[in-house]
Amino acid sequence: MKTPKWFLKKSLVAYMLTPFSLFYQIGSKTVFNIRKKREYVSRRPIICFGNILSGGVGKTPIVRNVAKFFDAPVVMRGYKKSKQTDSIGDEAKMLSSDNILVHVGNRKSNLILLNKQKSDTPIIMDDGFQNSSIKKDISVLVFDEAIGFGNGFLLPAGPLREKKSAINRADAIILVKRKKAHPDFALPTNIPVFNAKNSENCPYDKNTHVVVFAGIGYPEKFFDNVPCKIVEKISFPDHYQYTDEDIKKLIDTAKEKNAKLLTTEKDWVRLPDWAKKEIKFSALQTDIDSKFYDWLKGKVNEVSKQKN
Protein backbone atom coordinates (compact mmCIF):
# COMPACT_ATOMS: atom_id res chain seq x y z
CA MET A 1 0.00 0.00 0.00
CA LYS A 2 1.00 3.65 -0.35
CA THR A 3 2.36 5.34 2.76
CA PRO A 4 -0.64 7.12 4.36
CA LYS A 5 -0.40 10.90 4.27
CA TRP A 6 -1.09 11.15 8.01
CA PHE A 7 2.09 9.19 8.84
CA LEU A 8 4.20 12.33 8.50
CA LYS A 9 1.91 14.87 10.13
CA LYS A 10 -0.61 14.80 12.95
CA SER A 11 -4.15 14.93 11.60
CA LEU A 12 -7.71 14.10 12.53
CA VAL A 13 -7.38 10.66 10.92
CA ALA A 14 -4.24 9.93 12.95
CA TYR A 15 -5.93 10.88 16.22
CA MET A 16 -8.96 8.76 15.35
CA LEU A 17 -6.70 5.73 14.84
CA THR A 18 -4.79 6.07 18.13
CA PRO A 19 -7.06 3.61 20.02
CA PHE A 20 -6.04 0.92 17.52
CA SER A 21 -2.40 1.80 18.19
CA LEU A 22 -2.90 0.66 21.77
CA PHE A 23 -4.00 -2.79 20.59
CA TYR A 24 -1.02 -2.89 18.23
CA GLN A 25 1.35 -2.00 21.06
CA ILE A 26 -0.05 -4.67 23.39
CA GLY A 27 0.04 -7.33 20.67
CA SER A 28 3.58 -6.57 19.49
CA LYS A 29 4.91 -6.39 23.06
CA THR A 30 3.34 -9.76 23.88
CA VAL A 31 4.92 -11.36 20.81
CA PHE A 32 8.27 -9.77 21.67
CA ASN A 33 8.25 -11.22 25.19
CA ILE A 34 7.21 -14.70 24.03
CA ARG A 35 9.92 -14.82 21.36
CA LYS A 36 12.53 -13.61 23.84
CA LYS A 37 12.12 -16.83 25.83
CA ARG A 38 13.41 -18.84 22.83
CA GLU A 39 16.26 -16.50 21.91
CA TYR A 40 18.85 -17.99 19.54
CA VAL A 41 22.51 -17.13 20.24
CA SER A 42 24.81 -17.15 17.22
CA ARG A 43 28.42 -18.34 17.25
CA ARG A 44 29.28 -15.64 14.73
CA PRO A 45 28.71 -11.94 15.50
CA ILE A 46 25.32 -10.65 14.31
CA ILE A 47 25.00 -7.03 13.21
CA CYS A 48 21.38 -6.00 12.90
CA PHE A 49 20.34 -2.97 10.85
CA GLY A 50 16.79 -2.06 11.69
CA ASN A 51 14.35 0.73 12.23
CA ILE A 52 11.45 1.62 14.47
CA LEU A 53 9.45 3.00 11.55
CA SER A 54 7.60 0.93 9.00
CA GLY A 55 10.14 1.16 6.20
CA GLY A 56 11.28 3.84 3.80
CA VAL A 57 14.27 5.17 5.75
CA GLY A 58 17.06 3.98 3.41
CA LYS A 59 18.26 0.93 5.28
CA THR A 60 19.01 -1.46 2.38
CA PRO A 61 21.80 0.64 0.77
CA ILE A 62 23.49 0.83 4.17
CA VAL A 63 23.22 -2.94 4.58
CA ARG A 64 24.80 -3.32 1.14
CA ASN A 65 27.74 -1.07 2.05
CA VAL A 66 28.46 -2.84 5.33
CA ALA A 67 28.05 -6.34 3.87
CA LYS A 68 30.61 -5.48 1.18
CA PHE A 69 32.93 -3.92 3.76
CA PHE A 70 33.06 -7.13 5.82
CA ASP A 71 32.45 -9.51 2.87
CA ALA A 72 29.63 -10.79 5.07
CA PRO A 73 26.44 -12.71 4.27
CA VAL A 74 23.05 -11.09 4.74
CA VAL A 75 20.05 -12.70 6.39
CA MET A 76 16.66 -11.23 5.60
CA ARG A 77 13.01 -12.19 5.35
CA GLY A 78 12.63 -11.34 1.66
CA TYR A 79 9.56 -9.18 1.22
CA LYS A 80 7.10 -9.33 -1.74
CA LYS A 81 8.70 -12.22 -3.60
CA SER A 82 7.86 -12.54 -7.28
CA LYS A 83 8.96 -14.11 -10.55
CA GLN A 84 10.74 -10.88 -11.50
CA THR A 85 12.84 -10.94 -8.31
CA ASP A 86 13.67 -14.66 -8.58
CA SER A 87 11.21 -15.27 -5.72
CA ILE A 88 13.57 -13.67 -3.18
CA GLY A 89 12.14 -10.13 -2.99
CA ASP A 90 13.29 -6.81 -4.45
CA GLU A 91 15.71 -5.87 -1.66
CA ALA A 92 17.36 -9.30 -1.71
CA LYS A 93 17.61 -9.10 -5.50
CA MET A 94 19.37 -5.74 -5.22
CA LEU A 95 21.90 -7.08 -2.73
CA SER A 96 22.60 -10.31 -4.59
CA SER A 97 23.19 -8.37 -7.82
CA ASP A 98 26.17 -6.83 -6.02
CA ASN A 99 27.67 -10.30 -5.38
CA ILE A 100 26.51 -10.32 -1.76
CA LEU A 101 25.49 -13.71 -0.39
CA VAL A 102 21.86 -13.30 0.67
CA HIS A 103 19.86 -15.85 2.65
CA VAL A 104 16.11 -15.28 2.41
CA GLY A 105 13.39 -16.85 4.52
CA ASN A 106 13.33 -17.94 8.15
CA ARG A 107 16.12 -15.97 9.78
CA LYS A 108 16.79 -18.43 12.59
CA SER A 109 17.06 -21.41 10.22
CA ASN A 110 19.48 -19.50 7.99
CA LEU A 111 21.57 -18.44 10.98
CA ILE A 112 21.85 -22.06 12.12
CA LEU A 113 23.14 -23.01 8.66
CA LEU A 114 25.61 -20.12 8.57
CA ASN A 115 26.93 -21.01 12.02
CA LYS A 116 27.81 -24.50 10.77
CA GLN A 117 30.29 -22.94 8.36
CA LYS A 118 33.91 -22.49 9.38
CA SER A 119 33.81 -18.75 8.70
CA ASP A 120 33.98 -16.33 11.62
CA THR A 121 32.98 -13.23 9.66
CA PRO A 122 29.98 -11.36 11.06
CA ILE A 123 26.48 -11.95 9.73
CA ILE A 124 24.39 -8.95 8.68
CA MET A 125 20.70 -9.02 9.57
CA ASP A 126 18.59 -6.75 7.40
CA ASP A 127 15.69 -5.70 9.61
CA GLY A 128 14.74 -7.74 12.67
CA PHE A 129 15.24 -5.15 15.40
CA GLN A 130 11.82 -6.17 16.73
CA ASN A 131 12.57 -9.91 16.37
CA SER A 132 13.55 -10.97 19.89
CA SER A 133 13.94 -14.66 18.96
CA ILE A 134 17.49 -13.88 17.78
CA LYS A 135 20.16 -12.27 19.96
CA LYS A 136 21.72 -9.35 18.14
CA ASP A 137 25.31 -8.61 19.18
CA ILE A 138 25.26 -5.15 17.59
CA SER A 139 22.08 -3.26 16.73
CA VAL A 140 22.12 -0.20 14.50
CA LEU A 141 19.01 1.86 13.84
CA VAL A 142 18.59 3.88 10.65
CA PHE A 143 16.66 7.15 10.51
CA ASP A 144 15.87 9.52 7.69
CA GLU A 145 16.30 13.11 8.88
CA ALA A 146 13.35 14.43 6.87
CA ILE A 147 10.98 11.70 8.05
CA GLY A 148 12.16 11.62 11.66
CA PHE A 149 9.55 9.90 13.81
CA GLY A 150 6.79 10.90 11.38
CA ASN A 151 3.76 12.08 13.34
CA GLY A 152 5.08 10.28 16.43
CA PHE A 153 2.22 7.76 16.67
CA LEU A 154 2.37 3.97 16.63
CA LEU A 155 0.86 1.92 13.80
CA PRO A 156 -1.75 2.32 12.37
CA ALA A 157 -2.10 5.94 13.52
CA GLY A 158 1.52 6.62 12.58
CA PRO A 159 4.63 4.94 11.18
CA LEU A 160 6.21 3.82 14.47
CA ARG A 161 6.57 0.08 15.09
CA GLU A 162 7.60 0.75 18.69
CA LYS A 163 7.71 3.63 21.11
CA LYS A 164 10.62 6.04 20.72
CA SER A 165 12.13 4.64 23.93
CA ALA A 166 12.99 1.46 21.96
CA ILE A 167 15.96 3.40 20.59
CA ASN A 168 17.73 2.64 23.88
CA ARG A 169 18.13 -1.01 22.76
CA ALA A 170 20.36 0.17 19.90
CA ASP A 171 24.14 0.42 20.04
CA ALA A 172 24.33 3.14 17.40
CA ILE A 173 22.27 5.21 14.97
CA ILE A 174 22.89 6.07 11.33
CA LEU A 175 21.17 9.30 10.35
CA VAL A 176 20.55 9.80 6.64
CA LYS A 177 20.96 13.54 6.19
CA ARG A 178 18.51 15.56 4.10
CA LYS A 179 18.19 19.16 2.98
CA LYS A 180 15.52 19.78 5.60
CA ALA A 181 15.01 17.91 8.87
CA HIS A 182 11.62 17.02 10.31
CA PRO A 183 10.70 19.81 12.76
CA ASP A 184 9.82 17.47 15.66
CA PHE A 185 12.82 15.13 15.30
CA ALA A 186 15.45 14.82 18.00
CA LEU A 187 17.65 11.81 18.80
CA PRO A 188 18.91 10.79 22.26
CA THR A 189 22.40 11.96 23.19
CA ASN A 190 23.49 8.77 24.98
CA ILE A 191 23.86 6.72 21.77
CA PRO A 192 26.53 7.37 19.08
CA VAL A 193 25.08 8.88 15.89
CA PHE A 194 26.83 8.62 12.52
CA ASN A 195 25.75 10.54 9.44
CA ALA A 196 25.11 9.17 5.96
CA LYS A 197 24.32 10.96 2.71
CA ASN A 198 22.42 9.74 -0.34
CA SER A 199 22.93 10.84 -3.93
CA GLU A 200 21.18 9.67 -7.10
CA ASN A 201 23.30 8.82 -10.15
CA CYS A 202 21.01 9.43 -13.11
CA PRO A 203 22.00 7.45 -16.24
CA TYR A 204 20.96 10.39 -18.42
CA ASP A 205 22.33 13.87 -18.99
CA LYS A 206 21.06 16.37 -16.42
CA ASN A 207 19.12 18.21 -19.15
CA THR A 208 17.24 15.07 -20.21
CA HIS A 209 13.48 15.18 -19.67
CA VAL A 210 12.32 12.21 -17.61
CA VAL A 211 9.10 10.69 -16.34
CA VAL A 212 9.94 9.26 -12.94
CA PHE A 213 7.99 6.53 -11.17
CA ALA A 214 8.48 4.66 -7.92
CA GLY A 215 6.78 2.13 -5.69
CA ILE A 216 8.67 2.71 -2.46
CA GLY A 217 7.74 3.83 1.04
CA TYR A 218 8.40 7.54 0.45
CA PRO A 219 8.71 8.15 -3.32
CA GLU A 220 9.25 11.88 -2.77
CA LYS A 221 12.75 11.07 -1.50
CA PHE A 222 13.58 9.71 -4.95
CA PHE A 223 11.74 12.40 -6.90
CA ASP A 224 13.46 15.21 -5.00
CA ASN A 225 16.97 13.92 -5.68
CA VAL A 226 16.89 12.94 -9.37
CA PRO A 227 19.45 15.19 -11.16
CA CYS A 228 17.44 15.37 -14.42
CA LYS A 229 14.53 17.47 -15.63
CA ILE A 230 11.38 15.79 -14.33
CA VAL A 231 8.27 16.36 -16.43
CA GLU A 232 5.99 14.00 -14.50
CA LYS A 233 6.03 12.04 -11.23
CA ILE A 234 4.07 8.81 -10.79
CA SER A 235 3.90 6.92 -7.50
CA PHE A 236 2.77 3.38 -6.76
CA PRO A 237 2.27 1.44 -3.49
CA ASP A 238 5.39 0.21 -1.69
CA HIS A 239 6.87 -2.99 -3.25
CA TYR A 240 4.33 -2.71 -6.06
CA GLN A 241 4.30 -5.59 -8.56
CA TYR A 242 4.10 -3.96 -11.99
CA THR A 243 1.86 -5.48 -14.65
CA ASP A 244 2.46 -5.33 -18.39
CA GLU A 245 -0.45 -2.91 -18.62
CA ASP A 246 1.16 -0.60 -16.02
CA ILE A 247 4.42 -0.54 -17.94
CA LYS A 248 2.76 0.07 -21.31
CA LYS A 249 0.92 3.06 -19.79
CA LEU A 250 4.22 4.40 -18.42
CA ILE A 251 5.87 4.01 -21.82
CA ASP A 252 2.98 5.82 -23.51
CA THR A 253 3.17 8.64 -20.96
CA ALA A 254 6.89 9.06 -21.60
CA LYS A 255 6.31 9.17 -25.37
CA GLU A 256 3.62 11.82 -24.96
CA LYS A 257 6.02 13.92 -22.88
CA ASN A 258 8.93 13.23 -25.26
CA ALA A 259 10.83 11.98 -22.22
CA LYS A 260 12.73 8.98 -20.89
CA LEU A 261 11.44 6.68 -18.16
CA LEU A 262 13.40 6.54 -14.92
CA THR A 263 12.84 4.63 -11.70
CA THR A 264 14.64 3.37 -8.59
CA GLU A 265 16.84 0.28 -8.55
CA LYS A 266 14.38 -1.38 -6.17
CA ASP A 267 11.56 -0.82 -8.64
CA TRP A 268 13.69 -1.81 -11.63
CA VAL A 269 14.39 -5.30 -10.28
CA ARG A 270 10.63 -5.87 -10.06
CA LEU A 271 10.14 -5.19 -13.76
CA PRO A 272 9.86 -8.04 -16.30
CA ASP A 273 12.93 -8.54 -18.50
CA TRP A 274 11.36 -6.95 -21.58
CA ALA A 275 10.65 -3.76 -19.63
CA LYS A 276 14.18 -3.53 -18.26
CA LYS A 277 15.36 -2.95 -21.82
CA GLU A 278 13.03 0.05 -22.11
CA ILE A 279 13.55 1.58 -18.67
CA LYS A 280 16.63 2.65 -16.76
CA PHE A 281 17.15 3.19 -13.03
CA SER A 282 18.95 5.85 -11.06
CA ALA A 283 21.62 4.20 -8.92
CA LEU A 284 21.50 5.35 -5.31
CA GLN A 285 24.86 5.97 -3.69
CA THR A 286 25.03 6.04 0.09
CA ASP A 287 28.14 7.39 1.81
CA ILE A 288 28.50 6.67 5.52
CA ASP A 289 30.82 8.58 7.83
CA SER A 290 34.14 6.66 7.93
CA LYS A 291 34.08 6.91 11.73
CA PHE A 292 31.16 4.49 11.69
CA TYR A 293 33.27 1.76 10.13
CA ASP A 294 36.01 2.34 12.71
CA TRP A 295 33.43 2.08 15.49
CA LEU A 296 31.82 -1.01 13.99
CA LYS A 297 35.12 -2.83 13.49
CA GLY A 298 35.94 -2.20 17.13
CA LYS A 299 32.56 -3.53 18.27
CA VAL A 300 32.85 -6.64 16.09
CA ASN A 301 36.31 -7.37 17.48
CA GLU A 302 34.97 -7.05 21.04
CA VAL A 303 32.09 -9.42 20.31
CA SER A 304 34.37 -11.93 18.58
CA LYS A 305 36.69 -12.05 21.58
CA GLN A 306 33.76 -12.62 23.93
CA LYS A 307 32.44 -15.47 21.79
CA ASN A 308 35.82 -17.16 21.51
Residues 266 and 177 in one domain: no
Residues 123 and 20 in one domain: yes
Query: Which residue range(s) make up the domain with 222?
Result: 199-285
Instruction: Tell me the mean pLDDT in the region 194-207.
Output: 92
What is the pLDDT at residue 65?
97
Residues 109 and 228 in one domain: no
As a whole-number percent, the residues of the chain with pLDDT over 90 amount to: 78
Residues 221 and 190 in one domain: no
What is the pLDDT at residue 295?
98
Q: How many domains does the chain have?
A: 2
Q: How confident is the model at residue 84 (pLDDT cuts 50, 70, 90)?
A: low
Query: Mind giving me the DSSP string for the chain?
Result: -PPPGGGSS--HHHHHHHHHHHHHHHHHHHHHHHHHTT-B--SS-EEEEE-SBSS-SSHHHHHHHHHHHHT--EEE---S--TTTTTS-HHHHHHHTTT--EEES-HHHHHHHHHTSS--S-EEEES-TT-TTB--SEEEEEEETTTTTTTSPBTTTSSBSS-GGGGGG-SEEEEEE-SS--TT----SSS-EEEEEEEEE-SS-TT-EEEEEE-SS-HHHHHHH--SEEEEEEE--TT----HHHHHHHHHHHHHTT-EEEEEHHHHTTS-HHHHTT-EEEEEEEEE-HHHHHHHHHHHHHHHHHH-
Instruction: Tell me the mean pLDDT in the region 31-47.
Output: 95
What is the pLDDT at residue 239?
86
Residues 47 and 145 in one domain: yes
pLDDT at 78 over 80: no
pLDDT at 87 over 60: no
pLDDT at 123 over 90: yes
Residues 21 and 37 in one domain: yes
Average pLDDT for the chain: 92
Residues 32 and 179 in one domain: yes
As a whole-number percent, the residues of the chain with pLDDT over 70 amount to: 96
Supply the pTM of this predicted model. Answer: 0.91
Q: Model confidence over 278-295: pLDDT tens digits?
A: 899 999 999 999 999 999
Residues 9 and 143 in one domain: yes
What is the pLDDT at residue 2?
76
pLDDT at 85 over 50: no
Residues 133 and 226 in one domain: no
Residues 221 and 298 in one domain: no
CATH code at 229?
Answer: 3.40.50
Residues 300 and 161 in one domain: yes
Q: How confident is the model at residue 77 (pLDDT cuts 50, 70, 90)?
A: confident
Residues 110 and 43 in one domain: yes
